[in-house]
Amino acid sequence: MRWHGEETQRSSLSLCEYDDIFIGCVDDMPLKTCRDDVYDVGDSGLRWTMKDVMRASVGVLGESALGVTEKVVFLDGKCCVLKRFRMVRVGRKEFGRRVERLASIGQQCDYLVPLNAYLYSKRFKFVVCDYYPMGSLQDLLLGARRHGHTPLNWKQRFIIILQIAKAIAFIHSQPPQDKHIVTNVHGNLKASNIMICADFSIRLANYGFTQLATNIPEIGPSSPSSPLPPENTRIEVLSQKHDIYHFGLILLDMLGGPNALYSSHRVFERKERVCDNKLGFFEFPFEGKDSKHVFKVLDIALACIHRLPQVRPTIDNILLYLRKK
């Protein structure tokens, strides 16, 4: 599983690669829990500690501009994901307040990855989340495109699209300005941050993480990142219109594959031919009554990536349009 656009090639050490001498010198700090139902050790009620996590790490899953993602397997068999940040924006108390606020909000929505625990030490700052063996939407799409796995049919794609929209709608419904953090913007929507459950339902990951850590340029080769909104070509800004733009990119990717992300201007110009599928735009077969829904989602995608932010639809309007028969 890759988070936040991570690459499999890496340069950072996994926690499990630090030797026992280093681990012995690390202050054995307890993890701060965000949920009461996780991270108890046995009947004693003791909490897992930094050393427990270091010994439970089994390796790096990926890296990104924000940090390193690792898989950890504890002695009781519980498997989790640890997101270790390279450079955080805030001090210990503020970091804790922001994580706990994001965790509290996340627990209210079935379509968000829950935050379970966190730690802020002098050397390491990380959060611990649930692990999703099926990986992300990006993994699912690439598996069909590159490795011959069974591709998603239109019904599966539409359900995923609808659930992503519901997750965004929940986030955008939050109060516009919390005391310590902007809570009504995701800030980093992309296919690699949409986790897939065994029943093909989704969980949106990395909600608010751009307000915890600072983006650091990645080391080594990386795949092309998603295009930035036209109004913001150099740095990414926290705004709902920014979220909507990236939702539109996700829709184009699910409809026409990765090339659609970089040829959206041609889709605008040749929409009639695209709808007739004369250009071979769609990467899945459909017919009959499904055609109406496919073209409806294409209309939404093109509206979401409009160059003028004020013209882009709200997520509530998108949901109304998606649900309209």
Higher-confidence position of 281 and 286: 286
pTM of the predicted structure, to 2 decimals: 0.84
Q: What is the DSSP letter of 91?
A: -
pLDDT-derived band at 274, boundaries 50, 70, 90: low
SS3 21: helix
Q: pLDDT digits over 63-81, tens only?
A: 888 888 999 988 778 899 9
Most confident of 25-34, 147-156, 240-249: 240-249
Same fold, 15-130 and 137-323: no
Give the DSSP H/E element, type plus range, for residue 118: strand 115-120
CATH 1.10.510.10 fits 137-323, yes or no: yes
Q: What CATH number was assigned to the domain covering residues 15-130? A: 3.30.200.20
pLDDT band at 37 (very low <50, low <70, confident <90, very high): low
Q: Which amino acid is located at 39 in the chain?
A: Y
Contact 19/11 with Cβ under 8 angstroms? no
Q: Per-domain residue ranges for the chain?
A: 15-130, 137-323
Helices (H) and strands (E) in the chain, counts: 10, 10
12 pLDDT higher than 90: no
